[in-house]
Amino acid sequence: MQVQAEAERRNSWRYKVRDGIFAHLVSGIEAIGRVLDVSEGGFAIEYVGDEKPLHHHGTLLQLFGSGKSFLSDVPVRRVSDYALPSQVDFSSVTMRRMGVAFEDMKPEQKDQLHGFIMENSIH
């Protein structure tokens, strides 16, 4: 399923991904979370955290699921990060949503990303 807002500023379509796909971000953006959607330009994750990461740039250590690594060692930039409304009033856990843009991808990483989108997006 493609997701695109009317006033969308992105250059490429976002695709919802199947459950069980995760991303691990390191080197300045420390987070591990569930991937919500992905495009040729980046992805969004939902993760547990109390506050925003300190840096805007980092590395996608790994995009993975079902015991398989799909993409790794890609420079990324955080473009958004905000707390999600709590589903339970008494919970001390804060869920956040982060939008991440890919930077300086190598041609083989772009090929891996295209394969990932084809294999894991919900059509």
Per-residue pLDDT tens for 25-78? Answer: 988 788 899 999 999 999 999 999 876 666 788 888 899 998 888 999 999 999
Distance CA 121, CA 94 (A): 27
pTM of the predicted model as reported, rounded to 2 decimal places:
0.83
- How many Cα atoms sit within 13 Å of 97 on the Cβ side? 7
31-38 and 57-65 strand pairing: unpaired
First to last CA, the chain: 4
For the chain, give every domain's residue range.
13-85+93-120
Distance CA 103, CA 77 (A): 7
Q: Which CATH architecture has domain 13-85+93-120?
A: Beta Barrel (2.40)
Q: What is the pLDDT of residue 7?
A: 42
